[in-house]
């Protein structure tokens, strides 16, 4: 099954449950290392009119920083989470990473994404930061 087909099936399930345009109206939330930062690259969110998929990228260091190895919500506060490794999103939209503590050891860290990140009319956003536009397509997209 293609990513597009999965996204369409997921969105149909969300809409039939009457979920508003919030974090749960986004999909493909996979943290990826782009060589300099952890980003959600090519995330799909439905806009408020429910007629477009907006595909964006969000640099996660715009939303999070580290406090002795713990991931903490903070807007554009150095050092961000770029020193973390092996990040992934698990059940209940919790992102897990291994991050350096102040003593230099790597520790397990986690954060619940919907507490900080939301859907701003099709764009992933946190605080006053909005993700970067990549492309859009009609919703529901034809297969």
Q: Which residues pair with 133 in a beta bridge?
A: 56
Q: With the C-alpha atoms ordered 76, 77, 83, 88, is the resulting torsion angle positive or negative? A: negative
What percentage of residues in the chain have a pLDDT greater than 70?
83
Which pTM does this prediction carry? 0.77
Residue ranges with strand state E in the chain = 26-27, 31-33, 38-46, 52-59, 64-67, 70-73, 85-89, 94-100, 106-112, 118-120, 123-126, 129-130, 132-138
- Quote the pLDDT of residue 141: 58
- Quote the pLDDT of residue 106: 97
Q: What is the DSSP letter of 76?
A: S
- Give me the residues of the chain with pLDDT under 50, please: 1-21
């Amino acid at each position: 099954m293609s990513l597009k087909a999965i996204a369409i099936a997921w969105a149909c399930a969300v809409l039939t449950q009457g979920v508003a345009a919030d974090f749960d109206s986004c999909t493909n939330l996979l943290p990826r290392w782009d060589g300099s930062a952890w980003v959600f690259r090519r995330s799909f969110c439905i806009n408020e009119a429910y007629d477009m998929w907006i595909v964006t990228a969000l640099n996660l260091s715009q939303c999070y920083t580290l406090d002795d190895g713990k991931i903490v919500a903070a807007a554009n506060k150095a050092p961000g989470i770029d020193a973390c490794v092996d990040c992934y999103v698990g059940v209940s939209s919790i992102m897990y990473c291994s991050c350096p503590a102040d003593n230099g050891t790597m520790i397990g860290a986690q954060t619940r994404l919907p507490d900080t990140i939301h859907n701003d009319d099709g764009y992933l956003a946190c605080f006053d930061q909005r993700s970067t536009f990549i492309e859009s397509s009609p919703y529901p997209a034809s297969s």
